[in-house]
Amino acid sequence: MSIVRHPANPILSAKDVPFPANLIFNAGVCKYQGRYVMAFRNDYGYGELAPRRFTGTNIGLAFSDDGVRWTPAPKPWIEWKDAEVSRAYDPRITIVDGRIVLCFAVDTAHGVRGGIATTEDFERWEVLSLSVPDNRNMVVFPEKIAGRYCRLERPFPVYSRGRDRFDIWFSDSPDLRYWGNTQLVLGVEDVPYANDKIGPAAPPVKTPQGWLTTFHAVDKDDSRGKNGWEDKWKKRYHAGIMLLDLEQPWKVVGLCREPLLTPETAYEKDEGFRTNVIFPGGMILEDSGEVKIYYGAADTVECLATAHVDDLVALCKPYSRA
Ligand code: BMA
């Protein structure tokens, strides 16, 4: 396979973070003003006694000159907790026309909402929009297309589909606040190795052949049983990759029929809170053609894999939804 896990993996974990932390994972990454910036999820306060729970989740920041060695900021960045909201998590970052746009999932008393926020300095942040529940895994494209901001998202229609059968959707917006023109991009049934759900992963990167973008794809096997720290965990999260049309980005033009990454190392498959999880949230295309893909492993640590952009594009065989 043309993708390689970085020998320094995991590149960030709880032991590196100078504030209370148990699980450091599902990060968004961007290149901004000459350095790499990562916003990571931190679940902390894991209780010693049953019922063992985490007391909180926050989003922390880390900075890097090479995208491999990271220095976390001394304090958490975002911890959103009020009467309605219990937490914001799984951040993604896109630089759109020089502006920092952050997406995150927001757990509320009335469902999970997809949040879009902006910051000018990675300190103060302002929420621009919150979707209706249930929706998450939002990612914004790095440029406007036909004058409109674009996003991928993953609603989870539990009532109408009866169980996990969740798909990837597209919407656009004139201003990052009002979203519409919603269209189906890829159904879970389109991904041969998924039998449960799929969702957007890192923000897409532009190539001459199309928008290259990762997604996560889940297969469920009831025989999996005890796994990680939990009594039952039957799912396995793979990374997938596809190409979207440059002008009509709700159209899939290429799809890799096999996973890009499947849990296989100890830190993805055996160790951690939820074993068998690869959850990409960051993708950087370097001038050299190297692509850095950042992913949470086993809901416990943050990892990096690299590939050449031409190899990733070549994996995406011509595709159109029937
Ligand atoms: C999803 C999200 C992610 C998590 C994944 C695997 O539903 O909650 O945050 O990484 O499950 O546990």
Query: Could you read off the pLDDT of 228-238 as tens digits, one per residue?
Result: 677 888 999 99
Please give the pLDDT value at position 192: 98
Order of strands across the sheet that contains 99-108? 85-96, 99-108, 111-119, 125-130
For residue 254, what pLDDT is reported? Answer: 98
Ligand 1 probe mutation, 198, 236, 274, most atoms within 8 A of CB: 274
Which pair of tokens denotes residue 104?
């995150």
Task: Report the atom number in ligand 1 closest to the C-alpha of 273.
Answer: 12
Which residue's structure tokens are 């894991």? 46
pLDDT surpassing 90 at residue 251: yes
* Dihedral pair phi/psi, residue 306, rounded to 5°: -130, 155
- Taking only the tens place, the pLDDT of each residue in 12-69 is 999 999 999 999 999 999 999 999 999 999 999 988 777 778 999 999 999 999 999 9
Domains in the chain, start-ordered, CATH in brackets? Answer: 3-318 (2.115.10.20)
- For the CA of 279, the closest atom of ligand 1 is 10
Distance between CA atoms of residues 217 and 159, nearest Å: 21
Distance 272 CA to ligand 1 centre (A): 13
pLDDT above 90: percentage of residues in the chain: 89
Residues with CB under 6 A from ligand 1: 26, 90, 237, 274, 277, 279, 296, 299
> pLDDT per residue over 84-115, tens digit each?
999 999 999 999 999 999 999 999 999 999 99
Does the pLDDT value for residue 148 go beyond 70?
yes
CA–CA distance from 100 to each of 146, 171, 281 (Å)? 20, 19, 15
Residue 208 pLDDT more than 90?
Answer: yes
Ligand 1 atom closest to Cα of 299? 10
Identity of the highest mean pLDDT range in 41-50, 268-277, 299-308: 299-308
pLDDT bracket for residue 126 (50, 70, 90) = very high
pLDDT of residue 1: 58
Give residue 278 CA to ligand 1 midpoint distance, Å.
Answer: 9
What is the per-residue pLDDT across 32-43, written as a single tens digit (0 to 9) for each? 999 999 999 999
